[in-house]
Structures are given as structure tokens and as C-alpha cells.
Amino acid sequence: MTISRDAFLHSLRARSRAPLHGGGSEIRPVEAGQGWRIVLEPLPDLCLGAIRLARHRVAIHLAGRDEAATRRFLERFELYYRRGGG
């Protein structure tokens, strides 16, 4: 994902239904039992000429959800971060 960590957190907090812990590489809801956490792993910047874009590998870990709830979570997440008309 070509996004800075700060921009990722800002967007996630703006759309989250619960307060979040965002320390280190792991992001998770403050409230226990929400059943998800996200791990951000920095990647080398993407360089396009003079343009440098921060990149991160995003790993989403879901627990305690059925297939339909998992699909809804991932569809909502993708919608939040879709860019460039994709």
C-alpha cells in the first residue's frame, strides 16, 4: 500500500467505530473482543523519478468472525483505502 503510517492511522481512526491503540507496528481496538488487528510493515519507498511514495505491507488478522462478517470487514476496509478511481 503506498501510504505513510501517519496517513494510514489518520484514515483508520476517522472511520473506526472504536478507539484504537496504534503503537509500534500493530494497530488494534482499545476495547477487547473486537476480533481484529492490523500489522504494518514498512517497505522501501516507491520512487517514480523525483516522486517518493511511502509503502507498507498491511496484514489484517481477524478472529471470531464468520465468513460473511469477514467479507464485510474486508470490503469496508478496501473501500476506505481505495484511491485513484480503482
In this structure, what CATH number is given to the domain that contains residue 44?
3.30.1370
Give the pLDDT score at 24.
80
31-77 confidence digits (pLDDT tens): 777 788 999 999 999 999 999 999 999 999 999 889 998 999 899 88
> Does a structural domain hold residue 68?
yes
For the cut 60, the answer to whether the pLDDT of residue 16 exceeds it is yes
H/E segment holding residue 31: none
Can you give the pTM of this predicted structure? 0.79
Q: Report which residue type is found at 12.
A: L
CA distance readout (Å), 29 to 2, 26, 38, 52: 23, 10, 10, 31
> Is 86 within a domain?
no
Domain range for 71:
5-81
Domain count, the chain: 1
Of residues 1 and 13, the one with the higher pLDDT is 13
Is residue 73 domain-resident?
Answer: yes
Q: Is the Cβ–Cβ distance between 82 and 2 less than 8 Å?
A: no
Q: Is residue 71 part of a domain?
A: yes
Question: How many CB atoms are located within 10 Å of the residue 35 CB?
Answer: 15
Cα(42)–Cα(11) distance, integer angstroms:
17
